[in-house]
Amino acid sequence: MWVEEYKNIENQGFNFSPRFTCKYENGELTIEEKKDYISIFPDNINITAIVGENGSGKSAILSSMITKEKVFCVMSENNQLTVYSNNILINTPLKQKRSTREVFKKILYFSMDNHHLSLAKTQSRLTVIDLSQTNQLITENYAKLQTIDFSLFNFKPYYIGYEFINDWIASDYEFEEKDIEEVHSALGWEHTADTSVIVDTLRALRDLDNEYMIYLLNKFGTIAKIFEHIDLTEKLHPKDFYLTVNYEEIQEILEGMKIDFVDESEFTQLISHANKMIKIKKLRELFGENYIQLLFRRMIDELSFDYMAQNGSSYGSLSHGEKTLYSFFVNLVHFNNSDFLFLLDEPDNTLHPNWQKSFLNEMMNILTKLKKNAHLVITSHSPFLLSDIPKENVIFLEKGKQVYPNIETFGANIHTLLSHGFFMKEGLMGEFAKSKINEVIDYLNGKKSPITDDDEAQKYIHIIGEPIVKRQLQRMLDSKKLDKIKEIDELKNQIESLKNRLDILVNNS
C-alpha cells in the first residue's frame, strides 16, 4: 500500500506480505515475488502486525486503507495482483481498478474505538464487528452455530432468555427537589405558583402499577419532558389520583417526537415470555416475522439477553475475554465472504494477558474451521501477540515513519519485545515506582530527598520486586549504616581521648 498523504503519514509504502518486494518511485510501481519465501502460517491465512507508540500512525494506516484519499493498494484476486486507486496515476503492468463498493465488501473491520467504527460503517460502508450486536448475530446464526465446534469452550446456543431492564417498567422512584423544579419549569408556571399539585402528581406517577403505561411514560426520557407535552396535573383526578390520559394520546405524542415504541399487544407478549428460556427457533412463531427488528432494534435499550446451550452452559457465565473471542467467532460465521481482508484495530485492548496469548492462535483455528481465506492486519500494544509473528510480518512505526529495529519477534521474550518492539526507551518500570526508587538513591548518596532516615529507606527497599535493583540498594544502605557505625566509634574514641586529656589537666592543676 502506498500513502501519498493521510494524517501524519506522507509518501510512504507499506508491504503487508513478505512474499513480495515492492518499490514505488516517480510514479512507477514494481513488484517481484520472492521464490524462496515460506510462510509459517496456515495456507489460508496471512498476518501483518502494526506496532508503535500512541500517535505513531498505527490506526491511520488502517483508516487510510478504507478511505478515498491519496492512497493506492495492491491486492491479490484469484492469484492475480490488482492495483486499486481512485486518484493516483500509476505506471505498472498490473491490472488497475477504482476502489468501489465491491472492494469494501471484501473487508471486515474491527475497532475498540466507537468513532472509528462509526466512520467505517457510514463513510466506507464496511462490514464491521460491533460487539454490541453480538446478541442479534447469535440469534440470527444459531442454526449454523449448532453445527460448528468452538475450540475454547463447548457453547452452542439453543435457548434465549431476556428480561426487562427494571427502570423501564418500574415507577417506584424517589423524586427529588430538582424533579419538582424541572416540572415547574416545563409547565411554564410562574415562580410563585403552588407546587403542591406537582408533588401530588409525581406521587401518583410513582405509585402507578400499569406496566405498559410506565413503559410509555419512560420513553419520554425525563419526567419534565412528559409535562412539556402533557400537563399531567390536569389529567389526574384530584381525589383518587388516577391517570385520565389514555395510551393513544401518549402514543400520538411519541410518534410526533419520532420516538419508537411497541404497541400494547407486543408489550404484553414480551412481558408474558420475560424471565424464561425459549427455544430460539420459536421466536418467529411467538413474535412474528420481524422478531429480530423487535428484540434487537426497537427494544434494544429495554431488554437484556442471555443464551443457554442444551448442555446447560450459558453465555452469561462466560468471562469478558471468552465473550469477546466468541463474538469474533459469531461475526466470522455471519460474514458471507470466504476470501477477505480482516482489519483489527487493537482487538486485544481489553483482554486479560492469557487471552492475548491465545488470540491469534484462536483466530487462525476459527478461520481454518470455517474454511475462510483471510489476511489479518492487526494494530496492537501486546507483546504476547507480537511474539506470535515473525518480524518480516511486522510494520514498526515511529512518529509516522516506518523503522526497522534489530529484533527477532517470533518467540521472543516479553521484556525484549516491550523494550525494542514497542519503543519503551525509558524502561519497563512504572513511573511512580521509579520516582520512589530515585528518592531512595538520592538519600543514600547524600543528596536532597523526601526520605529522612534509614528506616524509611529500608521500607521502600523491602518492597522492590526487581532483584538486582533491590540487592544493590540494600548494599548501599548497609554500607551507609556501617559508615555511621564507624563514625560513631570514631566519635566515641575522640570523646574518650578528650576525657582522658581533661583528667590529666585537672590532676596537674
Tens of pLDDT, residues 498-508 = 777 776 766 77
Q: Domain for residue 294, yes or no?
A: yes
Asked if the structure places residue 442 within a domain, the reply is yes
Query: Do 294 and 275 fall into the same domain?
Result: yes
So what's the pLDDT on residue 57? 83
Which band of pLDDT confidence, cut at 50, 70 and 90, is reported for residue 306? Answer: very high
What is the tens place of the pLDDT at every residue in 206-246?
A: 888 889 999 999 999 888 999 999 988 888 765 665 678 88
Q: Is the alpha carbon torsion for 111, 113, 114, 115 positive or negative? A: negative
- Displacement of CA 71 from its chain's centroid (Å): 28
Cβ atoms of residues 202 and 178 within 8 Å: no
What the block records as the C-alpha cell of 435 is 520516582
Cβ-contact 164, 303 below 8 angstroms: yes
pLDDT of residue 219: 92
Query: Residue 414: which domain range?
Result: 40-69+100-137+318-421
pTM: 0.78
Same domain, 57 and 132: yes
Of the candidates 172, 136, 138, the one whose C-alpha atom is nearest the C-alpha of residue 299 is 136
In this structure, the answer to whether residues 353 and 288 fall within a common structural domain is: no
Whether residue 187 is contained in a domain is answered as yes
pLDDT over 80 (residue 247): yes
From 260, 291, 326, the end of a domain falls on: 260
> What is the per-residue pLDDT for 421?
55
Give the number of other CB atoms < 10 A from CB of residue 338.
12
- Check residue 240 and give left, alpha or beta (phi > 0: left; psi -120 to 50: alpha): alpha
Assess whether 439 and 504 both reside in one domain: yes
User: Cβ contacts of residue 463 below 8 Å, gap of 6+?
Assistant: none
The pLDDT value given to residue 236: 74
Please tell me the predicted confidence (pLDDT) of residue 495: 73
**366 & 348 share domain:** yes
Within a domain: 396: yes
For the ranges 453-457, 461-465, 490-494, the lowest mean pLDDT is seen at 490-494
Q: Distance between CA 316 and CA 326 in Å, rounded?
A: 12
Instruction: State the residue for C-alpha cell 526508587.
Output: 437
Q: At what angle do helices 58-65 and 114-122 cross, to 10 degrees?
A: 10
Count of domains for the chain = 4
Residues 480 and 447 in one domain: yes
- Asked whether residue 128 falls in the same domain as residue 271, the answer is no
> Which is nearest to 209 in space by CA: 169, 241, 164, 249?
169
Same structural domain for residues 324 and 401? yes
pLDDT at 485 exceeding the cut of 70 = no
Secondary structure tally for the chain: helices H, strands E = 21, 17
Predicted pLDDT of residue 374: 94
Residues 287 and 158 in one domain: yes
Q: How confident is the model at residue 427 (pLDDT cuts 50, 70, 90)?
A: low
Return the CA Rg of the chain: 34
401 and 463 in a single domain? The answer is no
pLDDT in tens, 345-368: 999 887 888 888 889 998 998 899
Q: Is the pLDDT of residue 423 over 60?
A: no
HSE of 306, CA atoms in CB hemisphere, 13 A: 17
Q: What is the pLDDT of residue 292?
A: 96
Start-to-end CA span in the chain (Å): 102
In angstroms, the CA 457 to CA 448 distance is: 13
For residue 37, give the H/E element and its range.
none
Going from the C-alpha of 9 to that of each of 123, 210, 264, 394, the distances in angstroms are 21, 59, 56, 17
- pLDDT, tens digit, 9 for 90 and up, residues 262-281: 999 999 999 999 999 999 99
Using DSSP, state whether 281 is helix, strand or coil: helix
Q: Does residue 468 belong to any structural domain of this protein?
A: yes
Other CB atoms within 10 A of residue 313 CB: 16
253 within domain boundaries: yes
Which residues neighbour 238 within 8 Å (Cβ) at sequence distance 6 or greater?
Answer: none
**Between 115 and 366, whose confidence is greater?**
366
The verdict on residue 146 lying in a domain is no
DSSP 8-state class, residue 498: H
Residues 301 and 158 in one domain: yes
- Please tell me the chain's helix, strand, coil percentages from 3-state DSSP, rounded to the nearest 5: 45, 20, 35
C-alpha distances out from residue 302 to 70, 156, 275, 296, 344, Å: 44, 25, 13, 10, 30
pLDDT band at 298 (very low <50, low <70, confident <90, very high): very high
Mean predicted lDDT score pLDDT of the chain: 86
CA distance 447 to 387: 42
Indicate if 301 and 335 belong to the same structural domain. Answer: no
